Amino acid sequence: MSILLSINFQWVLISTILLGIASGMFGTLAYWKRQSLMSDALSHAALPGVVIAFIIIGEKNLFALILGAAASALLGAWFIHVIRSSSRIKEDTAMGIILSVFFGAGIVLLSIVNQSASGNQSGLDTFIFGQAASMVRTDVYTMAGLAIAIILLIVIAFKEWKLYLFDNDFARGLGLPSSVMNSFYVIGLVTTIVIGIQAVGVILMAALLIIPAVSARYWTNSFKTMMVLSAIFGGFSGAAGTFLSAQGAGWPTGPFIVLSAAVFFLFSLLFGREKGLIVERLEFKYQQRKAIAQNEAPGMLKEGGQE
């Protein structure tokens, strides 16, 4: 437990909690927009931008790498839009194509960088599975600041997001163009993804967006309550994953955060009051017993009348 007294660990813990909260909240938007796969595609598409930014600046500066990742992810989002709008290819197929091509390009570039003079000292390998322990204080400030910006973007414009997702026609009638909200949505999604790629990694970052939101859905039908629960699940997942990964030297943070989120998902899947498996089974048994009792009651009354 001595690690809890480490100032560096405390800063990293705060940043991953904020990342989990931001991811859980924005993941709720992605869930209702039915674009969970988009987060996976864009997180993989961010890798080439990270490596190219490193090649250009020659050092591992998180803010510069985030800009490179964001540019690459936005380019991937644009390609998905172009493929979907100018061909007969469906959106999920376009996402799969961009995911594979961009991630493959990122791995090739990463291999080239690792063979250069700086080689393994670049530390870019941590962007694959995430390593929060490798973050310095400036990285933490950058990550936490952007996570807070995402949280504020959702909280301040909560009513607008709700209209955008559930009543687009009414939103347009109020002067809220879909194109503007789509732009904010894509920018917010990309920002959420790229700020977490060092802590969680490009491969697993999508899971931090998807799992808390899906877990929260098992507990409520309310959009607002779902977003709060998703933020809680995401925040606790970030905290638990960071703490567990800090117990071993070189343990990647991303897998531990995702496994922590999976624990919340399994608990919600079993015990969630909205179609949780065990709760649904108990409710079915209750309704079954109730129906049997109702069917037996007329028969008992009939027999009593005959006597």
Does position 304 have pLDDT exceeding 60, yes or no?
no
How far is it, in rounded angstroms, from Cα 49 to Cα 157? Answer: 29
Q: Which of 53-62, 81-90, 217-226 has the lowest mean pLDDT?
A: 53-62
Question: Which tens digits make up the pLDDT trace of 193-239?
Answer: 999 888 888 888 989 999 999 999 999 999 999 999 999 999 999 99
Q: Give the per-residue pLDDT at 133.
A: 74
The alpha-helical segments, DSSP class H, found in the chain are 7-32, 36-45, 47-57, 62-86, 91-114, 126-129, 137-156, 158-166, 168-173, 178-195, 205-217, 223-245, 253-271, 277-306
Is residue 177 very low, low, confident or very high in pLDDT (cuts 50, 70, 90)? confident
Which structural domains are found in the chain, ordered by start?
2-207 (1.10.3470.10)
Which among 54, 192, 77 is positioned nearest to 126, based on CA atoms? 54
Q: Give the per-residue pLDDT at 209.
A: 93
Q: Give the per-residue pLDDT at 274.
A: 81
| Type of residue numbered 160 | E
Which among 278, 279, 265 is positioned nearest to 31, based on CA atoms? 265
Judged by DSSP in three states, 250 sits in coil
How far is it, in rounded angstroms, from Cα 207 to Cα 200? Answer: 9
**Going by C-beta distance under 8 Å and a sequence separation of 6 or more, which residues neighbour residue 128?**
47, 201, 202, 203
CA 47 to chain centre: 17
Average pLDDT, the chain: 86
Does position 265 have pLDDT exceeding 60, yes or no?
yes
Q: Give the per-residue pLDDT at 28.
A: 95
| Residues 13-35, mean pLDDT to the nearest whole number | 93
Q: Is there a contact between 98 and 79 (Cβ–Cβ < 8 Å)?
A: yes
pTM of this structure: 0.86
Q: Is there a contact between 19 and 135 (Cβ–Cβ < 8 Å)?
A: no
Which residue do the tokens 């179609």 mark?
275
Question: Which tens digits make up the pLDDT trace of 95-128?
Answer: 999 999 999 999 999 888 888 755 555 567 778 8
- Count Cβ atoms within 10 A of the Cβ of residue 261 and give its class: 0-12 exposed, 13-18 middle, 19 or more buried: buried
